Structure 1
Amino acid sequence: MATSVRLRRAGLAAAALASVFLLAACAPPTRAAENFPGEPVVEHGEEGGHEEENVDGAPQAAWVGQGGQIAVTIWGSSTCPVVGDDIRVLEPAGEGNRVAIDLVERPADEMCTMDLVPHTTVFWTPMNVTTTEPLAVEVQDTEVTVPIK
């Protein structure tokens, strides 16, 4: 009887461990899905996807893909673009709905042009944020609010 109890416990532990791996595989990745020069194209085929014209080069963010992705546009040099690397949930839905974008670090001595152009990084929307609340996106010491989808 002791052997069958141990086997049952081992089987339950293996099933629990497999469940953890399966659930982790279902979560969207936190790394950037894609990045490209320019602004995102939204569902209706219009350029930008941002609520207002960006005249000061401040970071912008918008829902894309019916809310399945978040596009973050950062203005900078065309030869040394500022690129998003990772998305982190700071406050889940219902508690603030807030994320932070980590950027790819560039060498300090890199030679860059002095122009100002947009570069967009697209992330999969994390599971514990929602499109039914405004989303606060922290990037480059700035907070951008993405309106409800």
Structure 2
Amino acid sequence: MWGMASSLPLRRAGLVAAAVASVFLLSACNPGGGAIEDYSGLPVNDHAGDAEGHEGAAEDEVQAAWLQQGGQIAVTIPGSSTCPVVGSSIRVLDKAGEGNRVAVDVVERTEDEVCTMDLVPHTTVFWTPVDVTTTEELVVEVVGETVTVPVK
């Protein structure tokens, strides 16, 4: 009887610890909508199957592609090299099965900013939102344009 009573607080502590750990693990599975990386140029195809959706697209067009076997989405927007159009966040407009559509918001630039008149691609990478899927075409809306990323 003595041994069972003393182990009860330990069991409760263990259950509480497991519940707290579950919350942290589940929250890690739902990445935020902010950009995780941005750089000048097109995505690098460093693994077979990466940057799917960029093949054949012109550098002066908005492009979107799956990266990391669908775990990330790269959005490339042409613009000035000194004032690039950079994605700031991604949000789901229609979940998988209901349209599989996202919108990418961009960093606002000031009207009086002096920019070069060249046109270069700039890529922003986001974690793929949990409410979309790679098994359907993904529609990406950005800067007034719509791009469709093929099924992964």
Shorter-normalised TM range: 0.7 to 0.9
Spell out the pairing of 1:43-82 with structure 2 (5 A cutoff). Answer: 43-44=47-48, 50-54=54-58, 57-82=60-85
DSSP-derived class of the 1:24 partner: helix
| TM value normalised by structure 1 | 0.81
Write the deviation string for residues 32-80 of structure 1: whole angstroms up to 9, x where unpaired: 010000000122398886032316x221000011110000000000000
Q: Is the 8 A contact 1:100 1:137 kept in 2?
A: yes
Q: How many percent of aligned residue pairs carry the same amino acid?
A: 62
C-alpha root-mean-square deviation of aligned residues, in Å?
2.5
- The aligned residue for residue 126 of structure 2 is 123
* Counterpart-to-counterpart distance in 1, 2:52 and 2:82: 21
- How many residues are treated as equivalent by the alignment? 134
Spell out the pairing of 1:1-149 with structure 2 (5 A cutoff). Answer: 22=24, 23-42=26-45, 43-44=47-48, 50-54=54-58, 57-149=60-152
Q: Letter of the 1:31 partner, please give it.
A: G
* Counterpart-to-counterpart distance in 2, 1:125 and 1:45: 16
Q: Is the 8 A contact 1:39 1:48 kept in 2?
A: no
* Counterpart-to-counterpart distance in 2, 1:86 and 1:115: 25
| TM value normalised by structure 2 | 0.79
Change (3 A) 1:46 1:21: closer
DSSP-derived class of the 1:90 partner: strand
* Counterpart-to-counterpart distance in 2, 1:78 and 1:48: 24
Q: Is the 8 A contact 1:50 1:62 kept in 2?
A: yes
DSSP-derived class of the 1:33 partner: strand
Change (3 A) 1:25 1:39: same
Q: Is the 8 A contact 2:52 2:150 kept in 1?
A: no
Instruction: Name segments (4+ residues, structure 1) moved above 6 Å.
Output: 45-48
Write the deviation string for residues 8-47 of structure 1: whole angstroms up to 9, x where unpaired: xxxxxx99x9699543343112100100000001223988
Deviation at 1:114, TM superposition (A): 0.2
Q: Is the 8 A contact 1:30 1:86 kept in 2?
A: yes
